[in-house]
C-alpha cells in the first residue's frame, strides 16, 4: 500500500503560494501519491513534481487523456463533445490536424496590428484615472476581445461569457461548475447553428465549420462545440494570468523591472521567465494510466489518475539554477508552461504575442507603474495560477 500524502490541510497554502509545498515534496522525491481538496470533494491522485519526470510524462503515450479508456467521460465532455485535451491518437491526431488547417501561424501573426490597437484602446481608457485594477482593465479584456473576435463571438455575449468561463477553470464549487458548463454548452450550440445559417464569414469558427481534410473528413457538430469550448476558454484564461503574473512579478522585483526598462529587447525574455517562474497553468489536466507503469520508482496501476505539476517542475533546482529567483536574463529553454509532446499548447504563439504587446505597451505608456495595494486572492483550484485583481497606479 503506497503512502498517501494528505495535502487537504495545505489547501490554503497551495492557493496562496504553492511553491514551498512543492519544494518539500520534491525533497522527498519527484512523484507522490497525494490527497487534494477539490471542488467536488477530496481526491487522491499521483502528483509529479520533478522536472525531468514531468517532461517525460507529458509525452508518455501510456498516460491517456481520454478517460473513456478507464471509466465514464466527465461532465464537460458529455455536454460539450470531444476536444483535444480529452483525446488520444489517432482521434487527437485527426482533431488537431483539422484545427491546425484553420488556426495557422500566419493567421496569428496577422492579428498583431489588431492586438496593438485593442491594447492601446484599453490603455487610453485606463491611464487618465491614475490607478486601476490591471486584471479588469487590461489583462482580462485584451485576450477576451482577441479570442472572441478571432472566433466570431458577438460583442454583447462577452460579459456573461467571462463569468461562465472563470467558473469553469477556477470553480467555486461543484454545483456552480456544473451550471457553468451546461450554460456554455447551450450557448456554443446556438452560436454554431447561427454561423451555419449565416453562411461563410472570415472568423475561425466559421472556418472550422467549413474545414475539410484531403480525404473529405470534417468536424462533427459535437466536435465543433468541444473545439469552440477549448479555443474560447484556453484562448483567453491562460493569457489573462500570463499578463497579470508578469506585471506582478516585475513590480515585486524592482531590479528586474529596471533592467527591462533599460533594455526593452529583454521583453520576450521577461515573458518567458514569467512562464517559467509563475506560469498561468499550475497543473496539466488529468491523465490516466492506460496500463500499469512506473515513474521514478512509483508503481502506478492501470486506471490511476496522474497530475503533472507544471508549476512544481519549473522550480526544480535540478533543471534551473536558483529556481525561486525571478531573473529575466535566465535561459528558460525547456520550460513546460505550454506543455510538451503532442498536447503542446496550440495557442502558444498567440499567448506570447498578446503577452509581449500588453507588457511592452504598458511599460512604455506608464513609466511610474507601481503596486497600489495588495493583489487580490489567487484563483481557487489546481488548474490556473493567477490573481483575481491587481491594483496598480502610475
* Closest CA relative to residue 327, chosen from 364, 372, 278: 278
Q: How far apart are CA 231 and CA 205, in angstroms?
A: 9
Q: What's the CA gap between 347 and 103, in Å, rounded?
A: 9
Q: What percent of the chain has pLDDT over 90?
A: 65
pLDDT band at 323 (very low <50, low <70, confident <90, very high): very high
How many Cα atoms sit within 13 Å of 107 on the Cβ side? 17
pLDDT at 56 over 90: yes
Residue with cell 533594455: 263
* For the chain, percent of residues with pLDDT exceeding 70: 98
Per-residue pLDDT at 393 exceeds 90: yes
* Structural domains of the chain, with CATH: 4-393 (1.10.630.10)
- Distance (Å) of CA 156 to CA 86, 159, 160, 383: 30, 7, 9, 28
Quick one: pLDDT at residue 214? Answer: 66
Bridge partner list, 132 = 392
Arithmetic mean of pLDDT, 181-208 = 88
Residue 368 grid coordinates: 511610474
CA 313 to chain centre: 16
Is residue 384 predicted with pLDDT exceeding 90? yes
**87 sits in which H/E element:** none
Query: Are the CB atoms for 247 and 236 separated by under 8 Å?
Result: no
Best CA proximity match to 234, nearest among 147, 138, 305, 315: 147
Name the burial class of residue 182, with classes exposed (0-12), middle (13-18) and buried (19+) by CB atoms within 10 angstroms of its CB: middle
Q: What average pLDDT is seen over the chain?
A: 92
Tens-digit pLDDT profile for residues 208-267 = 888 766 677 788 888 899 988 888 888 888 999 999 999 999 999 999 999 999 999 999
- What secondary structure letter does DSSP report for 292? -
On the question of pLDDT at 207 being above 80, the answer is yes
- Per-residue pLDDT reduced to its tens digit, 102-135: 888 888 999 999 999 999 999 999 999 999 999 9
User: Which sign, positive or negative, has the C-alpha torsion 220, 158, 84, 380?
Assistant: negative
pLDDT class of 156 with cuts at 50, 70, 90: low
pTM of the model: 0.94
Report the pLDDT value the prediction gives residue 69, as an integer from 0 to 100.
75
**What are the pLDDT digits (tens) for 62-93?**
999 998 877 777 767 778 888 899 999 999 99
Taking only the tens place, the pLDDT of each residue in 30-50 is: 999 999 988 778 889 999 999
The Cα 66–Cα 259 span in angstroms is 45
Q: Give me the mean pLDDT over the 303-324 stretch.
A: 97
Amino acid at each position: 500500500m503506497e503512502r498517501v500524502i494528505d495535502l487537504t490541510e495545505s489547501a490554503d497554502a497551495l492557493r496562496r503560494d504553492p511553491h514551498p509545498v512543492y519544494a518539500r515534496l520534491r525533497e522527498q522525491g519527484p512523484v507522490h501519491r497525494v490527497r487534494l481538496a477539490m471542488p467536488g470533494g477530496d481526491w487522491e491522485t499521483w502528483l509529479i513534481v520533478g522536472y525531468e519526470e514531468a517532461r517525460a510524462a507529458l509525452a508518455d503515450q501510456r498516460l491517456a487523456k481520454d478517460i473513456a479508456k478507464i471509466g465514464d467521460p466527465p461532465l464537460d465532455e458529455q455536454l460539450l463533445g470531444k476536444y483535444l485535451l480529452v483525446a488520444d491518437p489517432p482521434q487527437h491526431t485527426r482533431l488537431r490536424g483539422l484545427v491546425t488547417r484553420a488556426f495557422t501561424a500566419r493567421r496569428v501573426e496577422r492579428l498583431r496590428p489588431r492586438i496593438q490597437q485593442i491594447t492601446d484602446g484599453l490603455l487610453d481608457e485606463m491611464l487618465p484615472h491614475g490607478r486601476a485594477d490591471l486584471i479588469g482593465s487590461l489583462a482580462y479584456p485584451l485576450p477576451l476581445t482577441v479570442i472572441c473576435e478571432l472566433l466570431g463571438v458577438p460583442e454583447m455575449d462577452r460579459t456573461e461569457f467571462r463569468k461562465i468561463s472563470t467558473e469553469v477553470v477556477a470553480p467555486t464549487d461543484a454545483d456552480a461548475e456544473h451550471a457553468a458548463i451546461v450554460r456554455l454548452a447551450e450557448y456554443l450550440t446556438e452560436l454554431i447553428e447561427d454561423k451555419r445559417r449565416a453562411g461563410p464569414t472570415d472568423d475561425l469558427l466559421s472556418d472550422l465549420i467549413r474545414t475539410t481534410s484531403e480525404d473529405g473528413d470534417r468536424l462533427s457538430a459535437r466536435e465543433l462545440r468541444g473545439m469552440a469550448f477549448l479555443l474560447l476558454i484556453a484562448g483567453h484564461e491562460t493569457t489573462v494570468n500570463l499578463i497579470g503574473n508578469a506585471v506582478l512579478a516585475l513590480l515585486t522585483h524592482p531590479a528586474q523591472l529596471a533592467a527591462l526598462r533599460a533594455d526593452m529587447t529583454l521583453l520576450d525574455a521577461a515573458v518567458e521567465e514569467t512562464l517559467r517562474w509563475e506560469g498561468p497553468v499550475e497543473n496539466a489536466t488529468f491523465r490516466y494510466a492506460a496500463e500499469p507503469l512506473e515513474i521514478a520508482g512509483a508503481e502506478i496501476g492501470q486506471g490511476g489518475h496522474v497530475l503533472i505539476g507544471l508549476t512544481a517542475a519549473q522550480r526544480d533546482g535540478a533543471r534551473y539554477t536558483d529556481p525561486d529567483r525571478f531573473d529575466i536574463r535566465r535561459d528558460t529553454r525547456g520550460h513546460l508552461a505550454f506543455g510538451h509532446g503532442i498536447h503542446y499548447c496550440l495557442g502558444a504563439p498567440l499567448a506570447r504575442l498578446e503577452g509581449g504587446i500588453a507588457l511592452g505597451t504598458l511599460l512604455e505608456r506608464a513609466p511610474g507603474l507601481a503596486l497600489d495595494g495588495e493583489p487580490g486572492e489567487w484563483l481557487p483550484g489546481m488548474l490556473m495560477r493567477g490573481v483575481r485583481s491587481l491594483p496598480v497606479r502610475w
